[in-house]
Amino acid sequence: MPLELVNLNRLWSQGLSFLGTKIAIMGGAMSWVSERHLVAAISNAGGFGVLACGSMSPDLLAAEIKATKTLTNKPFGVNLITIHQQLMELIEVCGYLKVGHIILANGLPKVISIQRPKELGIKVICFAPTVSFGKKLISRGADALIIEGSEAGGHVGVVSTSVLAQEILPAIRTVPIFVAGGIGRGEAILSYLEMGAAGVQLGTRFICANECIAHTNFKKAFIRASSRDAVLPEQLDPNFPVIPVRALINQASRRFVLFQQNVINRFRNGELDHKTAQLEIEHYWIGALKKAVIDGDIENGSLMSGQSVGMITQEQSANEIINELVEQTLLALNTRRIFEKEERN
């Protein structure tokens, strides 16, 4: 086995052991995107695919898990939203169908939503935006953490991946931690592994996988885009907060600014109360992601994307994407070894 591969396996050994995979790269859970085909393709390539449950009912989730298992016999996980009204039923489905890992997203999970999966033999992964949050999750029973920076696509926080990694990785050593947000190349993967990460999670990079069911128009938009095109929505008035969702700028995002202004003006003129006005702003994007991903309406839908989108130049298989990332990581390790050898001489 080449020395670089030995070193890489040593660096992410904790992640490999925890996930049960050959490669400690997790697929980010993206609504309408992370379904059976992409998840199975990532897992079959040696990574760790993650199903995005989103608003699925327990029956729909059960069908999706079963369908995924017909496409792969490798480990994969399920991402569950903590505010889902049937969260506990979804957990029971995962237990019944022998899902090995669940990822709890969107907020601080209740103790029971962490403990019940563990009783069912499921490993629980949670998102940690701060050191204190991470320690609280671990005290509640979380088996691993994901730290995701603001460079990521979709719903994001306000702190960059690099800063979160510097804050959290040295402070928490008791559970595996996976780093996410803005990662598109192997050199970045290596840097986080050397800081103490057990592995990484990538979402945007897999949008243009051959196995991804996203509409051709959606994929072409990602291939054309630069990192600067993946932006957060503009908020016009702090009294009417806008949920930070990173996406590619398009006609819908431009109209959103005008829409906000119209709603705010109607509120100021007494036509709407504050609650109704806030709900109108929040409801602007309902159904917009499906419109873009599935229907291919890339001007009127939502193009949720991380800033690593600028590194996508073509459509590839999930296997090619993962192999490319690993090769880049190994090359970075080899370059460092050569440099260190020259320094010693």
Q: Is residue 232's pLDDT more than 90?
A: yes
Q: Chain-centre distance of CA 276, in angstroms?
A: 31
State the average pLDDT over residues 5-34: 96
Residue 92 confidence (pLDDT)? 98
Cα–Cα distance for residue pair 49/42, rounded to 1 Å:
5
State the average pLDDT over residues 296-300: 97
Beta bridge partners of 144: 125
Q: Is residue 339's pLDDT more than 90?
A: no
Q: Is residue 280's pLDDT more than 80?
A: yes
Residue 99 confidence (pLDDT)? 98
In the chain, DSSP finds a helix count (H) and a strand count (E) of 14, 11
Q: Helical H runs in 51-155?
A: 58-71, 87-96, 111-119, 131-139
State the average pLDDT over residues 38-57: 97
**Residue 143: which pLDDT band, with cuts at 50, 70 and 90?**
very high
State the average pLDDT over residues 291-309: 97
Kindly state the percentage of the chain with pLDDT values over 70. Answer: 97
Task: Find, among 190, 143, 184, 185, the residue nearest to 165 by Cα.
Answer: 190
Full-model pTM: 0.95
Q: Cα torsion for 298, 222, 158, 262, to the nearest 10°?
A: -20
Q: Is residue 65's pLDDT more than 90?
A: yes
Angle between the N-to-C axes of helices 58-71 and 36-44, in degrees from 0 to 180, rounded to the nearest 10 = 40
Q: Is residue 185's pLDDT more than 80?
A: yes
State the average pLDDT over residues 61-85: 97
Q: Is residue 341's pLDDT more than 70?
A: no
Q: Is residue 236's pLDDT more than 90?
A: yes
Domain borders along the chain are: 3-202+315-344, 216-308
State the average pLDDT over residues 292-306: 97
The whole-chain average pLDDT of the chain stands at: 96
Task: Find, among 130, 69, 73, the residue nearest to 96 by Cα.
Answer: 69
The amino acid at residue 127 is F
pLDDT tens per residue across span 320-335: 999 999 999 999 998 8
Residue 114 confidence (pLDDT)? 98
What CATH homologous superfamily does 3-202+315-344 map to? Answer: Aldolase class I (3.20.20.70)
Residue 340 confidence (pLDDT)? 66
Pull the structure tokens for residue 290: 């499906």
Q: Is residue 344's pLDDT more than 80?
A: no
pLDDT tens per residue across span 246-276: 999 999 999 999 999 999 999 999 999 999 9
Residue 295 confidence (pLDDT)? 97
Q: Is residue 1's pLDDT more than 70?
A: no
Kindly state the percentage of the chain with pLDDT values over 90. Answer: 94
State the average pLDDT over residues 74-98: 97
Task: Find, among 81, 12, 97, the residue nearest to 47 by Cα.
Answer: 12
Residue 3 confidence (pLDDT)? 82
